Amino acid sequence: MKHAPVPTTLSRAVRIFVCRPADAVASAISPAVSHADLSRNSFAGFPSTNGIGAWFEIEVAVRGTPELQTGYLATLAQLDRSVRDSVIPLLQNALFSTPDGLNPAPATLLVEMVELVSKKIEKPIESLKWSLSPYHQLTWSRKMPQQTTFSSIFEFAASHRLNDPSRTPAENAEFFGKCNKLNGHGHNYRIEVGVAIPVGSAFGMADLEGIVDRAVIERFDHMNLNIDCPEFHSLNPSVEHIAAVCFDLLKGALSDCPVELKRVRLWETSKTSATIEA
């Protein structure tokens, strides 16, 4: 049974290693040099190098209708080459050729990446996500072309006890299980904060991290949430409630900044998280 192609979004993560051109195993990318000659491990990064540099991951998403015969929306080789040929020279220039003090903001570079990659890919770009590290991401979306979304992940350690005063001790023990033990228990919480930044804004990673540190991390890190934090004196500190409180605190702390809080996701464990979205 054949299925007619339907509109589809295809995503491809492209890992790059940005080094000085002279440090690459082969010379700079050109029609005479194949990508296979420039990398010995494209899974980890591209190009291969004996020097130092910066590792990034770029995830491009394109949207369209796949071909009926091949089932392809685009070839992975086409997506890889389009990203690498566009992004590597741009970042090499930003990292190694721009005079000190004139480095462009990452959000500005992301918009340039979108423009450059768009010229090489025939299908419309739905989104472009730039992972500056495993814990920092910038995203451009066709749905919000005049904004970029920046997200950063933080960690804090805290203890809590889950208990509902309206229930009997036996009912609490049955409902919350081990989480109701009298002396509580602890978690290494991870919190991801995402904000929308207008294109051209000078607001950056250090600005966001300073605000999150003051509004959330300093407030809750190494605290007993039930006892030390007024926010939870009458509010059960479930992961859902903690995420909501963090969202409210950050919304207030960011109210005077040229950004919009979009999302807070809080992990209690690697398997359990709660997300609050604007």
> Are 91 and 138 spatial neighbours (Cβ–Cβ below 8 Å)?
no
* Own/partner long-range contacts of 119-122 (Cβ < 8 Å, ≥24 apart): 119/86, 120/81, 120/82, 120/85, 120/86, 121/60, 121/62, 121/74, 121/78, 121/79, 121/82, 122/74
Structure tokens given for 44 = 């980890």
Pairing of strands 144-160, 185-198: antiparallel
What is the rounded CA–CA span in Å between residue 166 and residue 184? Answer: 19
What is the rounded CA–CA span in Å between residue 276 and residue 278? Answer: 7
- What element of type H or E holds 36? helix 35-38
Catalytic residue selected from 126, 179, 192, 257: 179
Decide if 268 is catalytic.
yes
How far apart, in Å, are the Cα atoms of 235 and each of 120, 164, 192, 222, 243? 53, 9, 22, 19, 12
Decide if 233 is catalytic.
no
Structure tokens given for 190 = 């991870």
Catalytic residue selected from 115, 155, 174, 222: 222
Nearest Cα to Cα of residue 78 among 55, 57, 54, 62: 62
Classified as helix, coil or strand, 264 is strand
Decide if 19 is catalytic.
no
DSSP state of 184: -
Catalytic residue selected from 19, 229, 241, 268: 268
Residues recognised as catalytic: 179, 222, 268
